[in-house]
Structure 1
Amino acid sequence: MLDLENIYKNESVEDILLHFAPRTPYPVIDRMFVRYKFEVISEGKLLQTFQRLIWEGKLVENENPLPEKGPNWKEPDFVTQKRYGIE
């Protein structure tokens, strides 16, 4: 089982988006930041980071509600190191 609280509290906004955005709708990610790290929302960092990742080609928007992994996408370290219960 994923330890979502510690992922959202300890990892960077960019890494969280790189891992969750291709599989989780943006409003759900937003809600998790509201719950565990509200300053990301209140300072506008979530939307800014999401837009930057699209501009950098790490995520690609399409006609589907979820973005796809872009040509510059790289798996975050917390995923490759299998932290927080990631398998």
Structure 2
Amino acid sequence: MNTIEQIVKNESLEDIVTVFALVKATPHLDMIIGRYKPEATRHGELQRAYARLFEMGVLAKGEKGLATKGPNWKAPSFVTENRYG
């Protein structure tokens, strides 16, 4: 199992989006999450999580389809604990 697969399968959707939306545009993020957690894309959970993070100020609109860190951005615990290397 590769690192991305482990993260998607083991972490919350909001934590995944908090990190990956900074480096992957929405269509690519949709593809990654859809591959390893298809139920999240089928029922619109990914879009709702993305919208919630913008509303909460965790993410802000960036350039070229990427998000930027919003004023309330905080690294999820899987990042600060360096769980996946």
TM-score, with length taken from structure 2: 0.91
Q: Which residue of 1 aligns with 2:18?
A: 18
Shift of 1:33: 1.4
Alpha-carbon distance in 2 for matches of 1:35, 1:63: 25
Shift of 1:62: 3.6
Shift of 1:14: 0.5
Mapping for residues 13-52 of structure 1, pairs under 5 Å: 13-52=13-52
Q: Which residue of 1 aligns with 2:81?
A: 81
Alpha-carbon distance in 1 for matches of 2:62, 2:79: 24
Unaligned runs of 5+ in 1: none
Alpha-carbon distance in 1 for matches of 2:9, 2:51: 21
Alpha-carbon distance in 1 for matches of 2:43, 2:27: 17
Unaligned runs of 5+ in 2: none
Aligned-partner SS, 2:66: coil
How many percent of aligned residue pairs carry the same amino acid? 45
TM-score, with length taken from structure 1: 0.89
Shift of 1:83: 1.1
Summarize the Cα distance change of 1:19–1:62 in structure 2 as closer, same or farther, 3 Å threshold: closer
Which letter maps to 1:13?
L
Alpha-carbon distance in 1 for matches of 2:25, 2:53: 16
